[in-house]
Structure 1
């Protein structure tokens, strides 16, 4: 289980430019930058409460730096990395931010009976999709079995802001931290009086409000066949969060076999089914992010059933011999109009 999409899984319909209307009209402001091994883009319409909208870029950068400093496995001094260094049987006080994200990740781990597992880190690292030099090699079964011994969300306990480990486990929040980053940026905008915005980090998106002409924000679900130049579906958004999980960008090939960055904690190996993209719409990008990864691990049939059983708004693209098949839950149908 791993999601580190280096390029957004969605492209924004509106171009990244700034429109200045009259002094009494809302102004569309857009800025972007690097974060979490990918990029972010923020678009919003100003209100009378915002005196200098460009000052918000510094606030956005600060909050994304904070999230990365707390939850990155690539930073050996992050709060998460310091916890992972603790031996079995130890615990630590953690930030409110990380406690919230770990709590959400543990919830999804329980919902999937461990097929999404927040402690999948040892397997992610073994397959070369974690911190350190990537070697693109297939590990031995003995190495996989050894890494699986260090995986198990049931050995991780969260009590308020106290996190404890019963075994020498390694927590990896890469499948959910970007979503939390989006939620935090959106919170900054709302606190500054922004009523209409669209925030995107590595393909995870949060939106609120409508444009001055009353039209909704729109995004396109990227086609795995055409990349950023081809849209599979176009969605109209209003006060929702969207996340995608896909295995068609981050992988390696060895002896003609393709190995996805998405690891199944139960098998200890990359997924092998034909589900190539999952889009989830939820109230928070944090949950949408984690749930999209969970459904990707489960695969097309069980993933769709999981979404149906839990009332999750999910859209799945499955590779066939002749292209891609669309699958979607009942909760997603209203977004297909």
Structure 2
């Protein structure tokens, strides 16, 4: 064991957020009091949830959703940052990532209400324009040029992970691994000088097993898949990821997409975009933009084969990749 590790105490903090739990793992001097850090981390994710939740009727996002088209609405800075990033990735993915799918998410039962047949028909019949065509941001104000239901479930957890990192840095913690559900971000190194290791989960709905291992330093990883959250229609499981073209769940998505990026918000949003695009179109766009992504695609036998793109995943069979952040 290294000298550093013998002089450090391990701290594994966690708490509730966004229907799941956040976690933070770091090492500090034995006399370090983690209580103020735990409180600050909880406050950070509570702020994100309070601003961006579709489950809280009084969130800033739901206030924006309730505002009539054409009316400028003042929003807090963090919500504005996430809206702006969502629109940027929406444009870059040609609408595959669309934060304007709230009506479909709700109608199909992936929000706070049960699935509603009338809502499903309305969502599928509604003419659709992407959020990046309908939302305008000016200073700290946002307005919709037409009615649209915004939903940030494909990016808010990732942003919450980024806020955990920022909060630890504010407390002069320089090495840590943090996460919310399956979205993770590492910065610095472990006490032994090695990168943080993270498992890429195999797309198995019955059990949690690793498909491969990532070694991360100063980078974030997010996975979007069809095997944890779904609805069953006529005996068929449908992914929680919405197809912006149809206002309905994806029909034949990849089993999962794992994305490594500089921030977890970016990784979260791009993983969703690549699920929508599929392995062929998604891999083509990832190569074009120099992104690191791993597509797991089921074959006829039900097992998953990997399609790796980018510096980290070009040797996917090796099952180990290291990231320095972009």
Question: 1:162-213: CA deviations, max 9, x gaps?
Answer: 1111111111111101111111111110111111100010111111111222
Tell me, what secondary structure is at the counterpart of 1:332?
coil
Query: 1:309 — aligned with what?
Result: 288
Matching of residues 1-337 of structure 1 within 5 Å: 25-47=7-29, 51-132=32-113, 134-135=114-115, 141=121, 143-146=123-126, 148-149=127-128, 152-225=131-204, 229-322=208-301, 323-333=303-313, 336-337=320-321
SS for the counterpart of 1:333 is coil
**TM-score, reference length from structure 2:** 0.90
Residues 122 and 151 of structure 1 are in contact (CA less than 8 Å); yes or no, is this contact kept in structure 2?
no
User: What's the TM-score once normalised by structure 1's chain length?
Assistant: 0.87
Check conservation: 2:253, 2:276, Cα contact below 8 A.
Answer: no
1:38 shift after superposition: 1.1
Deviation at 1:267, TM superposition (A): 1.9
After the TM superposition, which of the residue ranges 50-59 and 316-325 deviates more from structure 2? Answer: 50-59
Q: RCO higher in 1 or 2 (8 Å CA, sep ≥ 6)?
A: 1
Give unmatched runs, 5+ long, in structure 2.
Answer: 322-326
The answer for unaligned runs of 5 or more in structure 1 is 1-20
Q: Distance in 1 between matches of 2:143 and 2:205?
A: 44
Displacement of 1:159 after TM fit?
1.6
Q: 1:311 to 1:164 in 2, by over 3 A?
A: same
- The answer on whether the counterparts of 1:39 and 1:202 sit within 8 Å (CA) in structure 2 is yes
Structure 1 residues 215 and 91, CA gap change in structure 2 (3 angstroms):
same
